Amino acid sequence: MTAPLLKVTDLHTHFETRAGTVKAVDGVSFHLNRGEVLGLVGESGSGKSITGFSIIGLIDKPGRITHGSITIEGRELVGLGDGLRHVRGREISMVFQDPMMTLNPVLTILDQMTMALRAHESISDADARIRCVEALRQVRIVDPEQKIDFYPHEFSGGMRQRVAIAIALLHRPKVIIADEPTTALDVSVQAEILVEVKALVAELGISLIWISHDLATVASISNRIAVMRYGKIVETGPAAEVLGAPAHPYTRMLLDALPSRSRPGQLLGLDAGDKQASEMRIAHRPVQSQSGFVTVKHAVKRFEWPTSFCSRLGTRMNLVKPRSAVLAVNDVTFSIARGEALGLVGESGSGKSTLGRMVCGIYHPTEGDIKIDGASVISTGQQGRKLTTRVQMIFQDPFASLDPRRTVGQSIAEGPVAHGLTTRAGARGYVAKWLEAVSLDPAVADRYPHQFSGGQRQRIAIARALAMRPDVIVCDEPVASLDVSIQAQILNLLLTLRNELGLTLLFISHDLSVVRHLCDRIVVMYRGRIVEEGPAESIFETPKQPYTRMLLDAIPRLASEEPVLEEA
Amino acid sequence: MTLSLTKPRAGSEFWAEFRGHPAALTAAFVVAVIIVLAILAPLVAPQDPYDLASLVLRDARRPPGYVGMGGYTHILGTDSQGRDLFSAILYGLRISLQMGLVAGGIAFAIGALVGSTAAYVGGRFEAFVMRLIDLQLSFPAILMAFVVAALLGQGKSQLIVALTFSQYAYFVRTAHGAAAAERRKDYVEAALSIPMSGWFVVTRHILPNALPPLIVVATVQVASAISLEATLSFLGVGLPPTEPSLGMLISGGFQYLLSGRYWISIYPGAALIVLIMAINIVGDQVRDQLNPRLKK
């Protein structure tokens, strides 16, 4: 066996803060062989990104590598200081999560790539252009001769990430560190990038460290997997072994938390073979079928640019091009039965969030009407006001959806007090009741949102929605920004609450496995229209539309997933 | 499920950081001393400058340290009417601070409400209000204050109106900017989706979150209101002679400056400069601390 290409030994990266030392990376050792893909998996705060940054030497103050060694082909990188610049980009390069943040918006792709080239070699403009076009072609960008003069905003998210990969590949590095490179992308784009990266790794013989929170994507690309937690690697081994027969309880917990590995409707995080699990499974309560409880008829939402006098004058004089309106939702009709959970699935830009906001009465539909139990959600007129409290919403980002300057109790109580569900005097008790319903200690009502973790905040947001005693809850990607294990807790909570309170759910998500787990029926949206609709089972088993099939094929799967599904 | 209770309340953290800056701490101390002195002026001042009976014209324009007919030492000298300058400065500070704080406070309240309402309502209302504010801000504040003060005539309440009028636009613009950023945040949408009323959303959600930049503007604007008031009084359109503010003391001594009787103008001027500088230093520190981008 040859010596490994990259070797990390007992790496400690610490951050000195006023509150004390944060041991972000606390004794990590691993190696990377030539041509190998190592998946580095962990939840947020596990130190996986900091490990990547430590290798490439991008740790900012107050952080620093306090102990350990990183060697590439036997050369020590720790303590190299400025000398690392000769290594960075040429021998080790990095691809980041958000390509919009890493590409300079005011420079063309050519300029940026030339700059990267000139960091390590002197090259004429003509040669640089040839090299860059070649690099773009390598990452399967169509028409690279023209595209090279584009600005980053003229590319889609997936294309931008391809450009970032092309830049990382420019100097033929030996190692590429990819930090959550597909997290910001749609599933279908992610699938393409995964296939291409796999092909590139095989073709060029580079080694790759793939950092991700998503076990499934890591599983689909890596030879070996290292699982991190609290700055330490808890388990490492060949991908199939780690996922098939996890040795560490934490790995097992992560796997069990995946909705794709359990039967729909089952509480997550329980061992599939556990006897208790089948008892804990929440049976779908027979719904008192009142079909058409929520009805959306021919809903259209057009976002128009405000036309002022000056812009109209400019348009008339042919000085300004009229900006076209954006048709976010285009003639959508569907209904939800009482007690049903409807999944609304689509990629970014499909109009699913806009539709959800119309159902919840935040946006006014341009045309069509939306009713709950026969009553309109919003009054007519463009400045319509929301008329009902029977539909409430849970937002994606629990850090943004709670007012930072109001206590949790105030946030939960404001709606019920204003709408007479409780009195000002009785608010405390009322809030306590709903905090208990979402498994939080009622004593936390006096704290501010910053004192809670993401999962706890999402519970608070759920409590706020429930405190209005709604019949319908619109959930807009409620678990998209949460770690897998927290996601499982929130999904379990939603499953339980739905059953106990007989809630009707409109569940918006880009994550098909989550939707399948929670929903009875699924609506697939594409470019503002519904392309397919039907019971969850049949959509997943026999999708009729090619778009739906493409979405389903794009989901990265764990190798060990299939038997579990068959069993179910 | 455990919760971290280590994070201290926002206020104490703010104060802890503030204490780490000696210049700001000194300035805050100076402001506090001046405020206390101004409040306690009737007790501290050796003479009541309003009491015409206690004024002795023979003592007029005496240099610092002169022992007057009344038997007490004029440590900062006397002015052209024989008033003890130290006492006059204390009473002047009292009026200046009062003017600055009242006018600043009213402008703050009007500006915060108008600005955040404009940001919340949006559309034509917002465009109209903000263009009006732009129009007003294109004139110098001193000009606006001068015109209003000249139109309304002399008097405390007239001057407050003039000062407020020249100050509120800054608050509107700041409040509008901060509120427009808050308006788009999820928690505002969350409140609207309950549904909560627009008034509730503006006063309980948007305004409290838009407050930090307004507080910074307030410190600067109080200082600027004080200097505006002094300027107007100096020019003779501010307070009546019965309410001797710092500006009037300065203008009263102005004509003697070249004849060597510097103290009549210089000491009130120095008091004014110290007060305005101290407020500005405190304001700068508050701004730096509230700006998350400057946070380490």
Question: What pLDDT is stored for residue A155 in this prediction?
Answer: 84
CA of A361, closest CA in chain B: separation in Å?
Answer: 6
A-B interface: how many C-beta pairs under 8 angstroms?
Answer: 76
Instruction: Report yes or no: A270 and A277 within 8 Å, Cβ to Cβ.
Output: yes
Contact between B192 and A362 using a beta-carbon 8 Å cutoff: yes
Question: What pLDDT is stored for residue A279 in this prediction?
Answer: 43
Collapsing DSSP to helix, strand or coil, A157 comes out as: helix
When mean pLDDT is compared over A225-229, A539-543, B212-216, the highest value belongs to A225-229
How many Å apart are CA A448 and CA A403, to the nearest integer?
9
| DSSP-H helix ranges across A103-238 | 109-118, 125-138, 144-147, 157-169, 187-204, 215-221
What is the average pLDDT across B173-191?
92
What is the average pLDDT across A434-451?
90
Question: What pLDDT is stored for residue A277 in this prediction?
Answer: 42
What type of residue is B99? M
Task: Provide the pLDDT confidence category of residue A382 given band limits of 50, 70 and 90.
Answer: low
Domain definitions of chain B by residue range: 22-51+58-294
Tell me the sheet residues that pair with A542.
none
Contact between A405 and B208 using a beta-carbon 8 Å cutoff: yes
Contact between A450 and B208 using a beta-carbon 8 Å cutoff: no
Task: Provide the pLDDT confidence category of residue B283 given band limits of 50, 70 and 90.
Answer: confident
Q: Is A324 exposed, middle or buried (0-12, 13-18, 19+ CB in 10 A)?
A: exposed
Question: What pLDDT is stored for residue B30 in this prediction?
Answer: 92
How many Å apart are CA B231 and CA B228, to the nearest integer?
5
Instruction: Report yes or no: A180 and A18 within 8 Å, Cβ to Cβ.
Output: no
Answer whether A456 touches B (CB < 8 Å).
yes
Res A220 pLDDT > 90:
no
Answer whether A499 touches B (CB < 8 Å).
no
Long-range contacts of B5-14 (CB under 8 A, 24+ apart): B5/A451, B6/A19, B7/A450, B7/A451, B14/B289
How many Å apart are CA A383 and CA A363, to the nearest integer?
9
When mean pLDDT is compared over A44-48, A432-436, B62-66, the highest value belongs to A432-436
CA of B128, closest CA in chain A: separation in Å?
Answer: 12
DSSP summary character for residue A405? T
Reference A348, options A522, A510, A481, A515; nearest CA is A510
Question: What pLDDT is stored for residue A208 in this prediction?
Answer: 93
What is the average pLDDT across A518-544?
90
What is the average pLDDT across A501-512?
90
Collapsing DSSP to helix, strand or coil, B84 comes out as: strand
Q: Indicate the length of chain B as a whole number.
A: 296
Domains of chain A: 1-89+208-256 (3.40.50.300), 334-390+471-568 (3.40.50.300), 401-469 (no CATH)
CA of A306, closest CA in chain B: separation in Å?
Answer: 8
Lowest mean pLDDT among A49-58, A548-557, B41-50, B134-143: B41-50
What type of residue is A436? E
CA of A67, closest CA in chain B: separation in Å?
Answer: 24
Tell me the sheet residues that pair with A372.
A294, A375
Mean pLDDT of chain A: 85
Q: Nearest Cβ partner of A395 from B1, B123, B190? A: B190
DSSP summary character for residue A96? -
Set of chain B residues whose Cβ sits within 8 Å of the Cβ of A468: 194
CA of A526, closest CA in chain B: separation in Å?
Answer: 25
For residue A319, give both structure tokens: 């000085």
What type of residue is A64? R
Over residues A324-350, the pLDDT tens digits come to: 778 889 899 999 998 899 999 988 888
Question: What pLDDT is stored for residue A275 in this prediction?
Answer: 40
Question: What pLDDT is stored for residue A2 in this prediction?
Answer: 64
For residue B101, give both structure tokens: 């704080």
Contact between B190 and A450 using a beta-carbon 8 Å cutoff: no
The residue assigned the tokens 């889609």 is A156
DSSP summary character for residue B33? H
Task: Provide the pLDDT confidence category of residue A280 given band limits of 50, 70 and 90.
Answer: very low
Answer whether A308 touches B (CB < 8 Å).
yes
Cis peptide before A62 (omega within 30 of 0): yes
B48 phi and psi angles, rounded to 5 deg: -95, 105
Answer whether A493 touches B (CB < 8 Å).
no
Mean pLDDT of chain B: 84
Q: Nearest Cβ partner of B193 from A386, A444, A452? A: A386
Please name the CATH architecture into which domain B22-51+58-294 falls. Orthogonal Bundle (1.10)
From first CA to last CA, the distance across chain B in angstroms is 30
Over residues A121-173, the pLDDT tens digits come to: 888 999 999 999 999 988 888 888 888 888 888 888 888 888 999 998 888 89
Res B80 pLDDT > 60:
yes
Reference A500, options A439, A431, A414; nearest CA is A439
Res B131 pLDDT > 80:
yes
Question: What pLDDT is stored for residue A369 in this prediction?
Answer: 87
For residue A485, give both structure tokens: 């294990």
Res A561 pLDDT > 70:
no
Contact between B1 and A406 using a beta-carbon 8 Å cutoff: no
CA of A17, closest CA in chain B: separation in Å?
Answer: 10
- What is the CB-side half-sphere exposure of residue A300 using CA atoms within 13 A? 11
Q: Nearest Cβ partner of A451 from B3, B186, B187? A: B3
Res B81 pLDDT > 80:
no
Res A64 pLDDT > 90:
no
How many Å apart are CA B86 and CA B92, to the nearest integer?
10
Cβ contacts of residue A457 below 8 Å, gap of 6+?
A398, A399, A401, A402, A449
Task: Provide the pLDDT confidence category of residue A483 given band limits of 50, 70 and 90.
Answer: confident
Q: Nearest Cβ partner of B195 from A386, A395, A441? A: A386
How many Å apart are CA A523 and CA A545, to the nearest integer?
12
Lowest mean pLDDT among A113-122, A373-382, B184-193: A373-382
What ipTM did this prediction achieve?
Answer: 0.77
Instruction: Report yes or no: B139 and B132 within 8 Å, Cβ to Cβ.
Output: no
Res B69 pLDDT > 80:
no
Task: Provide the pLDDT confidence category of residue B252 given band limits of 50, 70 and 90.
Answer: confident
Task: Provide the pLDDT confidence category of residue B207 given band limits of 50, 70 and 90.
Answer: very high
Over residues A287-313, the pLDDT tens digits come to: 455 678 888 988 888 887 766 667 777
Res A264 pLDDT > 80:
no
Answer whether A452 touches B (CB < 8 Å).
yes
Res A230 pLDDT > 80:
yes
Answer whether A402 touches B (CB < 8 Å).
yes
How many Å apart are CA A334 and CA A127, to the nearest integer?
57
Question: What pLDDT is stored for residue B7 in this prediction?
Answer: 41
Over residues B217-245, the pLDDT tens digits come to: 898 899 899 989 888 888 888 888 777 78
Res B8 pLDDT > 50:
no
**DSSP assignments along B138-182, one per residue:** TS-HHHHHHHHHHHH-SSHHHHHHHHHHHHHHHHHHHHHHHHHHH
Res B9 pLDDT > 70:
no
In this prediction the pTM is 0.80
For residue B261, give both structure tokens: 């009787």
Q: Nearest Cβ partner of B190 from A401, A405, A419? A: A401
**DSSP assignments along A16-27, one per residue:** EETTEEEEEEEE
Lowest mean pLDDT among A407-411, A468-472, A489-493, B257-261: B257-261
Task: Provide the pLDDT confidence category of residue B92 given band limits of 50, 70 and 90.
Answer: confident
Answer whether B43 touches A (CB < 8 Å).
no
Question: What pLDDT is stored for residue A564 in this prediction?
Answer: 41
Contact between A400 and B187 using a beta-carbon 8 Å cutoff: yes
Answer whether A393 touches B (CB < 8 Å).
yes
Res B5 pLDDT > 70:
no
Chain B window 176-195: which residues touch A at a Cβ cutoff of 8 Å? 185-187, 189-195
Closest B-chain CA to A448: B9
Contact between B193 and A362 using a beta-carbon 8 Å cutoff: yes
Rg (CA), chain B: 23
CA of B220, closest CA in chain A: separation in Å?
Answer: 24
For residue B291, give both structure tokens: 């700006």
Question: What pLDDT is stored for residue A40 in this prediction?
Answer: 93
Over residues A237-248, the pLDDT tens digits come to: 998 888 888 889
Over residues B14-39, the pLDDT tens digits come to: 788 888 888 889 999 999 999 998 88
Contact between A419 and B194 using a beta-carbon 8 Å cutoff: yes
CA A71 to chain centre: 33
Question: What pLDDT is stored for residue A121 in this prediction?
Answer: 84
Question: What pLDDT is stored for residue A272 in this prediction?
Answer: 42
Res B138 pLDDT > 90:
yes
b/e sequence B38-74, b meaning 16+ C-beta within 10 Å: beebeeebbbbbeeeeebeeebbbbeeeeebeeeeeb
Answer whether A527 touches B (CB < 8 Å).
no
Reference A215, options A513, A549, A4, A563; nearest CA is A513
More confident residue, B285 or A315: B285
For residue A256, give both structure tokens: 């069990």
How many Å apart are CA B109 and CA B175, to the nearest integer?
10
Instruction: Report yes or no: A476 and A393 within 8 Å, Cβ to Cβ.
Output: yes
